[in-house]
């Protein structure tokens, strides 16, 4: 009887072991066998950690998802003060003649940068994309060079742009992972969020003619927490989507390339996001709260400087997982003087015995070097 029980116990243990192995594999690459698309990826925004992927570095056409780079370069020019939303652009006949999705710009008429950028974000307008490219770089070809240079700076190593619209053209490609990196960057701009949240809006041409814009990203209306995204579709690329969403304190980005239908790209992207929100969470391992009771004395003065973190450290983990971590502070006991925002030390984030990150610690205040009067005051006080 005991022998039978031991055999049954052994079989049960083997079954549990296999189940655990399956769960671990499943959590790493849950959508690897997802039907209906050529590639996909799911990342957590703050860390860039890949939570699920399938062919995420495969070189594929991405159709109008290409316009994410057009949008980024325009936003960066605005942020740098090189462009103003109220600036007017005279639209060329080349730009107004773009096919595919468009806002039907009038050639040789003036449009504001704001109206053109908004039409690219909301309605994926090819004509507006080319108008912006020509204004920023002098020609679309020059702008494409800027696109590829920026892609290289962002370590988008599996991307080659050949136009600013995503219209079919040989040698143009990217991958799901690179587009996740790019959308992550674009989502850092409040102006983008302002436009990407629009569902329906009239585009008024200088002549008074009106073209209605409808957001091509259906998840902006129908997915809880959607914070923006970009669609694309051509015969070559099939149906593509890059989209971001936020729930509680976690933000995720899902990219789907080469889906077999428009409906399926939205479904797969939603399934990926749901998987991420259901199975993972973001834990704040280090923040300013950890510096509340830490100060550095200023030499010769009865003063101390308070400290702040250059940034937080967040860790993406499976829900309810325990994290073994410690904080190693490297700070001086005393300073002669210090300026506000000056780096005074750092903290090492140690997870499972390994240094996962090192974050600079800054002074919150400015303190000048002590003079003779300061020393006298300190002697009197003591």
Kindly report, residue by residue over 141-153, the tens digit of the pLDDT. 999 999 999 999 9
From 223, 247, 281, the end of a domain falls on 281
Query: Which long-range contacts does 326-331 make (Cβ < 8 Å, 24+ apart)?
Result: 326/350, 327/286, 327/290, 329/294, 329/361, 331/294, 331/296, 331/307, 331/361
Res 381: pLDDT: 72
For residue 199, is it within any domain? yes
> Percent of the chain scored above 70 by pLDDT?
89
Q: Domain check: are 310 and 343 in the same one?
A: yes
Q: Domain check: are 138 and 264 in the same one?
A: yes
CA–CA separation, 144 and 73 (whole Å): 11
Tally of domains in the chain: 2
pLDDT band (50, 70, 90) for residue 290: very high
For residue 4, is it within any domain? no
pLDDT band (50, 70, 90) for residue 269: very high
Res 19: pLDDT: 39
Res 7: pLDDT: 47
Q: Domain check: are 238 and 350 in the same one?
A: no
For residue 150, is it within any domain? yes
CA–CA separation, 101 and 73 (whole Å): 20
Q: Transcribe 297-313 into DSSP letters.
A: EETTSS-EEEEEESS-E
Q: Domain check: are 372 and 250 in the same one?
A: no
Q: Domain check: are 179 and 196 in the same one?
A: yes
Residue 92 Cα distances to 55, 62, 77, 138, 218, angstroms: 39, 26, 21, 11, 31
Six-digit token string for 373: 């009067």
Res 148: pLDDT: 98
Q: Domain check: are 241 and 335 in the same one?
A: no
From 281, 311, 341, the end of a domain falls on 281
On average, the pLDDT of the chain sits at 89
| pLDDT (average), residues 342-370 | 92
Q: Domain check: are 274 and 300 in the same one?
A: no
For residue 24, is it within any domain? no
Domain CATH code at residue 360: 2.60.410.10
Q: Domain check: are 275 and 291 in the same one?
A: no
From 232, 254, 281, the end of a domain falls on 281
- Has residue 17 got a pLDDT over 60? no
For residue 68, is it within any domain? yes
pLDDT band (50, 70, 90) for residue 369: confident
pLDDT digits (tens, 9 = 90+) for 123-171: 999 999 999 999 999 999 999 999 999 999 999 999 999 999 999 999 9
For residue 224, is it within any domain? yes
Q: Do 264 and 231 form a contact (C-beta atoms < 8 A)? A: no
Q: Domain check: are 374 and 271 in the same one?
A: no
- Has residue 6 got a pLDDT over 80? no
pTM, two decimal places? 0.81
Task: Name the residue with higher pLDDT: 147 or 356.
Answer: 147
Q: Domain check: are 187 and 47 in the same one?
A: yes
| pLDDT (average), residues 223-234 | 96
Domain CATH code at residue 88: 3.40.710.10
Res 372: pLDDT: 67
Strand-pair category, 88-90 with 39-44: unpaired
For residue 2, is it within any domain? no
Burial of 326 (0-12, 13-18, 19+ CB in 10 A): exposed
pLDDT band (50, 70, 90) for residue 18: very low
- Strands, DSSP E only, in the chain? 39-44, 50-54, 88-90, 110-112, 200-204, 210-214, 226-234, 238-247, 250-259, 280-286, 295-298, 304-309, 313-318, 325-330, 334-335, 343-351, 354-363
- DSSP three-state, residue 357: strand
Q: Domain check: are 160 and 270 in the same one?
A: yes
CA–CA separation, 184 and 252 (whole Å): 9
Q: Domain check: are 172 and 229 in the same one?
A: yes
CA–CA separation, 101 and 106 (whole Å): 15
CA–CA separation, 32 and 52 (whole Å): 8
Residue ranges making up the domain that contains 167: 35-281
Six-digit token string for 198: 């629009």
For residue 6, is it within any domain? no
- DSSP three-state, residue 176: helix
Res 382: pLDDT: 67
Phi and psi (nearest 5°) for 328? -105, 110
């Amino acid at each position: 009887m005991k022998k039978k029980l031991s055999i049954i116990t052994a079989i049960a243990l083997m079954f549990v072991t296999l189940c655990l192995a399956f769960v671990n594999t499943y959590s790493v690459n849950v959508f690897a066998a997802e039907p209906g698309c050529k590639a996909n990826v799911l990342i957590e925004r703050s860390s860039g950690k890949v939570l699920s992927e399938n062919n995420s570095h495969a070189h594929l056409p991405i159709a109008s998802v290409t316009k994410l780079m057009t949008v980024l370069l325009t936003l960066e020019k605005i942020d740098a003060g090189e462009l103003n939303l109220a600036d007017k652009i005279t639209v060329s006949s080349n730009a107004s003649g773009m096919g595919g999705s468009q806002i039907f710009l009038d050639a040789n008429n003036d449009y504001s940068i704001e109206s053109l950028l908004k039409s690219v974000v909301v309605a994926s307008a090819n004509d507006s994309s080319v108008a912006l490219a020509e204004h920023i770089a002098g020609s679309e070809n020059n702008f494409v060079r800027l696109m590829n240079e920026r892609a290289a700076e962002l370590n988008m190593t599996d991307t080659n742009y050949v136009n600013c619209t995503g219209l079919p053209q040989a040698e143009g490609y990217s991958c799901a992972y690179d587009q996740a990196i790019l959308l992550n960057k674009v989502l850092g701009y409040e102006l983008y969020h302002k436009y990407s949240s629009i569902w329906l809006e009239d585009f008024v041409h200088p002549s008074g003619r009106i073209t209605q814009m409808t957001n091509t990203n259906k998840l902006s209306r129908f997915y809880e927490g959607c914070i923006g995204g970009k669609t694309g579709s051509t015969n070559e690329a099939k149906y593509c989507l890059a989209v971001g969403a936020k729930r509680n304190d976690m933000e995720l980005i899902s990219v789907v390339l080469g889906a077999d239908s428009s409906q399926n790209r939205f479904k797969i992207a939603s399934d990926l996001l749901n998987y991420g929100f259901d199975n993972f969470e973001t834990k704040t391992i280090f923040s300013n709260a950890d510096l509340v009771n830490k100060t550095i004395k200023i030499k010769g003065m009865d003063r101390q400087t308070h400290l702040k973190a250059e940034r937080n450290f967040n860790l993406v983990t499976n829900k309810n997982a325990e994290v073994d971590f410690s904080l190693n502070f490297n700070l001086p006991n005393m300073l002669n003087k210090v300026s506000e925002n000056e780096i005074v030390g750092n903290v090492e984030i140690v997870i499972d015995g390994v240094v996962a990150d090192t974050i600079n610690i800054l002074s919150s205040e400015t303190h000048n070097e002590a003079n003779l009067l300061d020393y006298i005051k300190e002697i009197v006080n003591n």
